[in-house]
């Protein structure tokens, strides 16, 4: 290859610095969508023009919390609705779900984590996640190593 010959001239594509391959993400279940839709009804936008944006933000929220078990998410959403006049962020709902798990007692917590991990396995667990307890005894969600 001389100085004037390019990768394209030889039939090659130049290496890309970005990837358009997104990691697999579990789509939200019907139960998750229902819970988020109920939140959307509780926290409707003030203007008619904002409805399309509101629907889009609800879809993103459902996708962001898709890994949270539906029963935990339902309780977290209910608690949030009683505590805040504002639409929750995914991090708030996930934090509330973790608080709910923490408050179930040490023996019950281990059983709860086991059941949640079993549920993830039954659903295929495409993101390879697991619930675990850290050194401080707080329940966390982490990605399993390959």
Could you report the per-residue pLDDT of 119-138, keeping only the tens digit for each? 888 888 777 888 877 666 67
Count of domains for the chain: 1
On whether residue 114 sits in a domain, the answer given is: yes
Give me the long-range contacts of 128-137 (CB less than 8 A, separation at least 24): 129/67, 131/101, 133/109, 137/102, 137/106
On whether residue 64 sits in a domain, the answer given is: yes
Could you report the per-residue pLDDT of 107-117, keeping only the tens digit for each? 455 566 777 77
The pTM of this model reads 0.57
The larger pLDDT score, comparing residue 98 to residue 137, is at 98
On whether residue 136 sits in a domain, the answer given is: yes
Checking if the pLDDT of 50 tops 70, the result is yes
Average pLDDT, the chain: 78
Tokens describing residue 85: 């006049």
- Stretch 65-71: mean pLDDT, rounded? 92
On whether residue 9 sits in a domain, the answer given is: no
- Stretch 11-32: mean pLDDT, rounded? 67
Phi, psi of 28 (to 5 degrees): -65, 140
Helices (H) and strands (E) in the chain, counts: 5, 2
* 3-class secondary structure per residue, 54-104: HHHHHHHHHHHCCCCCHHHHHHHHHHHHHHCCCCCCHHHHHHHHHHHHHCC
**Residue range(s) defining the domain that contains residue 36:** 30-143
On whether residue 122 sits in a domain, the answer given is: yes
The larger pLDDT score, comparing residue 28 to residue 133, is at 28
Give dist(CA 126, CA 52) in Å, integer. Answer: 30
What pLDDT, on the 0 to 100 scale, is given for residue 139?
73
Give dist(CA 112, CA 53) in Å, integer. Answer: 36
Give dist(CA 109, CA 91) in Å, integer. Answer: 21
What pLDDT, on the 0 to 100 scale, is given for residue 24?
59
What pLDDT, on the 0 to 100 scale, is given for residue 4?
61
Checking if the pLDDT of 104 tops 50, the result is no
On whether residue 1 sits in a domain, the answer given is: no
Give dist(CA 65, CA 94) in Å, integer. Answer: 7
On whether residue 91 sits in a domain, the answer given is: yes
């Amino acid at each position: 290859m001389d100085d004037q010959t390019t990768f394209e001239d030889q039939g090659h594509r130049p290496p890309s610095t970005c990837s358009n391959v997104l990691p697999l993400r579990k789509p939200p279940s019907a139960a998750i969508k229902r819970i988020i839709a109920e939140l959307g009804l509780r926290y409707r936008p003030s203007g008619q023009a904002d409805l399309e944006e509101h629907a889009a933000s609800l879809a993103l929220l459902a996708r962001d919390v898709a890994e949270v078990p539906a029963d935990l998410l339902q309780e977290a959403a209910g608690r949030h609705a009683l505590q805040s006049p504002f639409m929750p962020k995914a991090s708030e709902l996930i934090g509330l779900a973790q608080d709910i798990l923490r408050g179930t007692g040490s023996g019950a917590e281990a059983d709860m984590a086991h059941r949640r991990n079993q549920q993830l396995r039954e659903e295929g667990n495409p993101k390879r996640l697991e619930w675990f307890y850290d050194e401080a005894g707080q329940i966390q969600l982490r990605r399993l190593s390959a």
